[in-house]
Structure 1
């Protein structure tokens, strides 16, 4: 069938300002020009002669698909949710513990009032944005606004925000504020509710609790509970396969981020091309003008969220009688105060003003959690001065080999909270944690860290300057470790990570010697164990997928093999126990008949496909089992000498195992869920059955969703709409003839539930099918579904 190209030339006379520069000056379209080619599943390929035009095309294409999602995000970043949506609802920010509208508005209004983002924008590169990046962002804003201007708020295709009074043009400052917020989701952004609602206790005359030196001595159990960071609540798998691991002796990469499927956590698939300068394909977060994970002709890379520390919560010893002053080396330091007004819409529709006071210390914002007459806590974020991530990702996209990618990372040092995996056409693999990590040495940690926690921010003694962050000579700014301190590994076989520490990125060459704040855990969880065993099985051919060594088809097959590692090593023992004793006692003392459970588990295929009957029962059982700590039920306990294969097995005689099975059967029966239910019967997006399971079970393809998720589009979270897990999957092979890539975006390109691209790729994901990427101009123009839009501003 001949290619059908529908050319739409949108020639517009420049109108009044369509965007606002970071400095606040209104700017027009500046003669931007771009071409948008959309191939199957609505995937846009943007081509322009310069970076301003590239951003223009990208912003326009993204707005076509996701304007409502971006408008909602901008409402948050401007601190205006309470004005339009009321103060009590919860923000749609799923990446970092979305606060209530009022608290989020107070925080964001305070951030705008402080001028922090504008000051960072005023810095020259490499500390501030490069000229290419500034043009890209300005073009992105102009392109988004061009689509909104051409379409009109009243005619938007997405009913989520059609005709809403909170939808309007965006500014470059909005985009840059989004970049800033994204960088801090492992720190300050996660504490917005706590920061905005922090209130000092009333002063108490003669209050004490601080020693003569000014150093407090809290008991460990008195330290406050802090929210878990992003890496503990989401996840990703990343594989870099080198020439010694592939059958053709080239390089391959697997990208498999696990993120929420709604709001600002969504990824957008795109190709960006400036001929002779940039040609990169992959995915980027909503509102970002760059590709965050992807490939060009000779290089491919991905990221996984790390467990390194990216912020420190400093414990402040307060001045007796003054809860808004604290002691550092015995000297009193007053907190600063910032008064922030927020416009609020009442239930009657009338507007009023609510004023909040934000407190800050020399370390950063003060938290409400744990603020007493003697103690307070403040958070210092390693990304508090960082807009450089966009510089870094654009430079990575233009890099032609691993040396250039590494140079880009060393130059900008803007990676916020992620590991990097990369391969190039030499067949070499590269891993690093180049993220921004507080410069707290192991020596400092022994005397300064009051509580270390890989799932949360460390709590650090703030009563002495000896516990301040230090610096490295190769760091572009003080306070963080430089590239020379980061865990880094280069090999020609493979590197892999599933949100575990760097230690076993390749078990044949354990990474050691890096500072403990990067992540000092040694024990692997079940998902990273499974990932490493999947690679080992492919390298020796023991996985049943043919001759040893990866090919693109076997990489795809491994990704979507739906293996359940805990089921593989434990199912038979559980079946044996319920065959031997079909009446088990639940936690509440009820006797439960588990005979039907035996049959359901015995018939389970040990996978988590949409039709894997019995997998739901195993998930319920295992979730109950892992709740009971300490874990006494392993058949083979953890052995540091065998990190990839221990712990394993389930001891069917352990009372916790028996109770967990009874609880699972009891719970599913009460919910009227059949004991042989399959994942696809309960996990759905827009009604489409989903495979996958929770990572605690040792599942590589992590998916969690409700039966009704996806019914409200990609923005709103109400009514059981939340789903998360595998989002964008990319299997790329760098061949001498160019890249061969297969992808699937599990929720499609659009957050608009009325769009044909809202769930078209969900159908592919449900059936374990892939999109063959069109990367070259010839491949793109050969698509019979090709649609072309030419933009001139």
Structure 2
């Protein structure tokens, strides 16, 4: 393992003050009712926020205590102590060596940023309701752990382990902060700390979070109300999984949906009148400042030298010894190890470095009675860390906005201050740090300085639809392209990529009735059928040219491969990545071998929905097909290999195809097709799928949690929804009290505890 000098700055926005005492229930106790319906889905009811959090923490611990317990070890910077400094961390998005993880998280905790935020009033600091939710959640988790005992935990993953113990509210606040930093500081641990494991031990990069999202308005729904499709593509392991839950305080809050592990709020969901979802946006989350060094420990700003601050971080190793690290600070943020020279260093300025506002924003959105009220909640808190928001309401108003936290670097400032990046592939502005003229700007409507306010954000309100599949905001609705916003939010006029194109084409076909699903317009049933169609857009766009090439030449020049059988297989495949799709895997292996670019017609910004298209007929394309065929034949793999045979999760076959192929309901694996005709286990793809229709009589919703409710392999709910997802099924959501009571599998328990359990 390489250890380089560490230079880290702490982005602290407020002066040091005493922490606010924990909020307590009015009578010194918590009470909640947990009702579980089919697939173990919990519906939690309490009279107050503290009790609601208590019931949620208790229910979550029953299903997933080990995952959160491991993550708490991570947040405390103690992974090296229990698992060794070289082992891989449990970060599901970008794991690193435990030592790098520990140094990073100890520096965050030592900075005091959470303590400072807790001392601030809302909206910069947490609201009283959120504080009570967090305290109750911690108390509920700890009550379950105390009742069960570490030695008797049902999950063998952490049963009897020394690293399992009570959690604190501080742990949960750090989890919420780390969620906000998920696409900014957190994935840059190695660049920040300079610590990396041996290169030959590094796993392939794991896929970043993605998603599909539609908000359908009254003009395109058969019933005239709003509908939402939520299809987030988050990791299938670890702390960034979704947990399906309904949270109810009678007369105050009633929300159902997907809640990320270790958070007491619903991130994607609906109430009786509003539904919303998110996709990861292309906007920048941080800037990098080039520091002109005066010497090894100072840099100049406006001609004056500024010393770097210092912080000492100590990490305990398995043998009890301590690994000590000196961390340095700048006015901008952490100083990256990468790119450091005798003349310059580079500091990371993270717009989400002190963002705890997101949880309060989701809580306020859950209480909204209309799109207008949801928008007001977003304007108040301005905490969405890295996502677009798509929403609708019972009136059928469809809404899109990139309300995410974005550093205020306008186009003029970028032109004036931006410099070449010292790190290849770094997707952020590199700004001149030697002058205060290049500091982030200010918007008068921004809740904190240095970020764009609501008036600068890409926004669209429609009566037909808004849609996004991680493309930039400009093609949210092709009838009304969005332009004129700062480039920090992403480029316009760019190639949509196949998956977003597939989504927009699916909507267009449904609205014209050309998809074979009946009369035009969306119903809940046609929405379900549309999104589970398993179309492979690149095959659709290249099929005719491929078969023409096959007819012209049966083998690739310079190759012994006979591609006739492959051509027959692809010629009879229907282009859908169903479990029994013979040709789906052959197409993927051919497509991934194609030269770049392989399109016959290149992208044209004036025709973003129909270009690029077609397949070039040249020797490199023919060789790609021959190479794919040779791989199959040399390993005895049938060319008719299907997704059901090649890809799985917990031994359950998983349909779908990959991002690059243009598959709406994509899957991702950690490696290539093996010589046994199987991919490594699926670890990312559709996660919490929700199709909801808002009607005057109440919401109608269908959901499926693709990896199921519990990470515990001994749980009956470890793979039950996975099997449902595999065969294309959905869960009919039970939202009202009557619907819940009508479930013949209903189990009800009342849980109680004191506030001491959460301290």
When normalised by structure 2's length, the TM-score is: 0.92
Aligned to 1:268: 243
Q: Which residue of 2 aligns with 1:488?
A: 459
Contact between 1:682 and 1:706, CA under 8 Å: does it hold in 2?
Answer: no
Q: Decide whether the 8 Å contact of 1:260 with 1:722 is kept in 2.
A: no
Quote the Cα distance in structure 2 between the aligned partners of 1:25 and 1:498. Answer: 40
Offset from partner CA, 1:369-423 (integer Å, 9 cap, x none): 1112222221111111210111100000001001111111011111100000000
Residue equivalent to 2:15: none
The Cα of 1:24 is off from its aligned counterpart by 7.8
Counterparts of 1:39-50 in structure 2 under 5 Å?
39-50=37-48
- Residue number in structure 1 paired with 2:443: 472
Are residue 601 (structure 1) and residue 573 (structure 2) matched?
no
Give the one of 294, 311, 315 matched to 2:290: 315
Structure 1 residue 330 corresponds to structure 2 residue 290:
no
Residue 277 of structure 2 corresponds to residue 291 of structure 1: no
Question: Secondary structure in 1 aligned to 2:211?
Answer: strand
Shift in Å, 1:40: 0.4
Aligned to 1:638: 603
**Could you say which residue in structure 2 is the equivalent of 1:520?**
491
Q: What are the Cα deviations for residues 723-768 of structure 1, in whole angstroms up to 9, with x where unaligned? A: 1110010000001110000000001000111111111001111111
Write the distance in 1 (CA, Å) between the matches of 2:205 and 2:632.
31
Give the C-alpha shift of residue 671 in structure 1: 4.5
Question: Which of 133, 136, 140 pairs up with 1:139?
Answer: 136
Among candidates 541, 545, 549, match of residue 577 of structure 1: 549
- The residue number in structure 1 matching 2:582 is 613
| Residues 635 and 649 in structure 1, CA contact (< 8 A), matched pair in contact too | yes
Structure 2 residue corresponding to 1:568, chosen from 540, 554, 562: 540
How far off is 1:451 after superposition?
4.7
User: How far has the Cα of 1:623 moved from its partner?
Assistant: 1.5
Bigger CA drift: 330-339 or 615-624? 330-339
1:558 to 503, 507, 530: 530
The answer to whether the 8 Å contact 2:555/2:622 transfers is no
Equivalent in the alignment of 1:339 = 312
Select which of 728, 737, 742 maps to 1:777. Answer: 737
Match of 1:249 in 2: 224
- Partner SS state of residue 259, structure 1: strand
In structure 1, how many angstroms separate the alpha carbons of the residues matched to 2:466 and 2:498? 17
State the secondary structure of the residue aligned to 2:165.
Answer: coil
How far residue 465 of structure 1 moved from its aligned partner, in angstroms, is 1.8
1:271-420 correspondence to structure 2 within 5 Å: 271-319=246-294, 322-345=295-318, 350-420=319-389
Over 3 Å counting, the alpha-carbon distance change for 1:26 and 1:776 in structure 2 is: closer
Deviates more, 1:39-48 or 1:107-116: 107-116
Equivalent-residue separation in structure 1 for 2:627 and 2:492 (angstroms) = 31
SS of the residue 2:391 aligns to: strand
Conserved? CA contact 1:308–1:454, under 8 Å = no
Distance 2:385 2:187 in 1: 14
SS of equivalent residue, structure 1 residue 87: coil
Matched, 1:758 2:718: yes
Corresponding residue to 1:703 among 658, 661, 667 = 667
Question: Any residues of structure 2 matched to 1:707-746 within 5 Å, and which?
Answer: 720=680, 723-746=683-706
| Partner of residue 183, structure 1 | 180
Contact kept? 2:134, 2:172, Cα under 8 Å: yes
Question: Any stretches of 5+ residues in structure 1 without a counterpart?
Answer: 1-20, 200-226, 710-718
Summarize the Cα distance change of 1:613–1:326 in structure 2 as closer, same or farther, 3 Å threshold: same
Distance 1:791 1:429, change over 3 A: same
Alpha carbons 2:58, 2:144 under 8 Å: kept: yes
Taking a change above 3 Å as real, the CA distance of residues 673 and 24 of structure 1, as seen in their structure-2 partners, is farther
Measure, in 2, the Cα distance between the counterparts of 1:382 and 1:425.
Answer: 34
Is the aligned partner of 1:435 residue 2:404? Answer: yes
| Separation in structure 1 between the aligned mates of residue 499 and residue 425 of structure 2, nearest angstrom | 17
Query: Which residues of 2 match residues 51-70 of structure 1 at below 5 A?
Result: 51-70=49-68
SS of the counterpart of 2:614?
strand
Q: Deviations over 1:273-296 (max 9, x none)?
A: 000000000001100100001000
Q: 1:451 to 1:91 in 2, by over 3 A?
A: same
Aligned-partner Cα distance in 2 for 1:101–1:645: 46
Q: Does 1:448 align with 2:410?
A: no
Partner of 2:92: 94
Deviations 1:672-721 (CA, angstroms, capped at 9, x unpaired): 43221111111101111101111111100011247999xxxxxxxxx955
**Equivalent residues, number:** 721
State the shift of 1:426 in Å. Answer: 0.9
Contact 1:684–1:708, Cα closer than 8 Å, also in 2 = no
- CA distance in structure 1 between the aligned counterparts of 2:195 and 2:723, rounded to whole angstroms: 46
SS in 2 for 1:775: coil
- Root-mean-square deviation (CA), in Å? 2.3
SS at match of 2:291: strand
Residue 119 of structure 1, CA deviation: 0.7
Secondary structure, counterpart of 1:667 in structure 2: helix
Q: TM-score, with normalisation over the residues of structure 1?
A: 0.88
Aligned to 1:546: 518
Give the whole-Å Cα distance in 2 for the aligned partners of 1:107 and 1:728: 30
- 8 Å contact from structure 1 (residues 281, 294) kept in 2: yes
Deviation at 1:229, TM superposition (A): 11
What displacement does 1:593 show? 2.6
2:71 to 59, 73, 76: 73
The structure 1 segments of at least 4 consecutive aligned residues displaced by more than 6 Å after TM superposition are: 24-29, 227-230, 452-455, 706-709
**2:455 partner SS:** helix
**Secondary structure of 1:92's partner?**
coil
Distance 1:724 1:520 in 2: 26
Give 1:67 shift.
0.1
Match of 2:321, SS state, is strand
Taking the aligned partners of 1:308 and 1:708, their CA distance within structure 2 comes to 30
Structure 2: give runs of 5+ residues left out of the alignment. 1-17, 197-202, 674-678, 754-759
1:332: Cα distance to partner? 2.2
